[in-house]
Chains A and B, each alone.
Chain A
Amino acid sequence: MPVTFTFGEMLSARSVIGTTLAELGEDYDNLWVLTPDIGATLVEFRDKYPERFVDVGLAEQACVGVAAGLAYDGNIPVVSGMLPFLSMRALEQVRSDVCYPNLPVKIIGTHGGLVGNGGSTHYAVEDLALMCALTNMTVTSIGDPLMVGEVIRQSMTMQGPIYIRLAVGKKDKVLYEPGEHEIRIGKGIIARQGTDATIFTHGTVVAQALDAAAELAKDGHSVRVVDMFTLKPIDEELIAQCAAETGGRFVIVEDHLAYGGLASRVADVVADRGIHLTAFERLGIPQVYAGFGEDEELRDKHGYGLAATIAATQRVIAAA
């Protein structure tokens, strides 16, 4: 069934995963879906292609290893689960079984960031740092629920592995009008134009960055928002372009450790290419185990919520 939606509406990214995989199962008879006991939304695929659906139970390491075995034999396995466990408990399988032989295993999951109120065992906050470190791995983090479908679709023809990070995926804001932006893995999206500063962001906090830019516009500030949904390979050209076009004033906001994620990726490009910046601020999770609370409360508490984003952007705009 095609997904229907309205711009600005809430949509479940998980349902997009389910629908997209069920669709793709028809085009790709070598597409397998695997899960370690997660995935009510995979039911559609499971019912349509039971012979290509594998649930190994609570066994993330085996799940990723089995996926690699399938991929060695010419299949396209998609592993779907909760990212804190896929990115950490199965990290060595991801690295040595999938990335080392560069197999086309797609890892897609939820609970990237301080989301879902599960406490620190259930927040993937180091995952992007870990995944970006792996040779051959492509790393993405998606906010717009409809983009999830497009990224999964594009990943089907990729040779190597990809990591696709979502937040909770139960209720996500549709950010972009269909066809409004070209969505291409490896290319950032200018989600909002602006000339005074650029906010680079990804995943669930793209919506927050857009709200911050809208607030700042009321005071006459023109703030660009870049949805850098691909962290690796990073869109270096866009970073250089934004430095040139927004006065070298950067804010990075992400639902991930402030060090090791997108801010670090951007800083690497800035340093490596000798890009001159006027101001650079990074907002993200500090070195704490964050505790319980609703997503927004946790972002506020740990200094990367809406108010903090607005304040940081004002500071970089004011910087001499």
Chain B
Amino acid sequence: MLLTLAIATTILLFVLIVLLIVALVVRRSLDAQREARERETYERLRPHVVAWLGDPDAEPGPELVGATDARSRDVLSKLLSRYGSMLRGEARDRLIRFVAEQGYVEASVRDLRSLRPWRRGRAARALGDFGSARAVRHLSLLVVRDRDRFVRLAATRALGRIDDYKSAAALLMLLPTEQVPAGVVAQSLLDLGIHGFGALVSGCDDEDDVTRRTACRLVGLIGAGASPDAMRAAHDVLRRRAATDDDAGVRTAALGALAALGDTRSEEVVRAALHDEEPAVRQAAAATAHALFLREVAPDLIEVVGRELQLDRPNWRLVRTASHAWAALAEQLDPDALPVEAREVGMPFLREAAVASSRSLA
């Protein structure tokens, strides 16, 4: 019995090995043929696409309008998707019109219902590259309903490439869910840029911690291009969040955003944050004080350093950030400002900070 089993297994293994080898070679040959055909179509169509998109007055030639066979349409769709992800402005607007008129958007929307996840993902990606506003509704449904995680990710990224305020709202609603990681949603909101700014400022007051954290951080990264009114609203909400939010992550993100937006009127908020119970918030406050050049909080900074150095396990990153900020802001670098018991450990940090500060001034 054992012997029969051993012999049967040996034969089975042998057959499996032979089949695997044959499959490897056949698949490689078939792929090579398919790739060669696609490459040939790609090389034929690419110059026409480049010529059309490069000339604002040009109309798409017959090679592009007349691409009717499946392979040409597939390759052209990939080409347009690729250029759609790279282009901005007038050329992108023309591309968006072309793909809508020629039915590429419609075809991609149809592909969103495909049984194959990779096809749905590819269609979602193409819709983002095509920038079609009418795809927002389909993609918004896909990000919450698709059973495949990577399709949801592709749809999320696609929403970030469609310059429409409705995309921002759809993306912000995703943050409290676990359908898509917060990092991916944040990146999409960032891609959306100023189109999503209003929604992000509102998001800073959302009841969900992750949403507030993400929104505060992104307001800081995107806000430079906002209108003065929108900027004022952003400053107000960020100051309020930095001062009063229950979540330390939100306070940290809000402080970072205030630094990024150059809000020099946030001195009181920064001073209070330097005495926050969370080291990460204190560190963010020190960095913000440095970035905004808030000279008035220099005494608070050295106090932060002194207090931290007296702990059993000081947070060295906080000590270093606060020391550098202090060295840059204090009118006089007085090491005696440190408590006596912290001087021995603290002096090397202050020396390092002082040298770095004088080098940056030089």
A and B together in one complex: no
Which B residues form the contact surface with A (CB < 8 A)? none
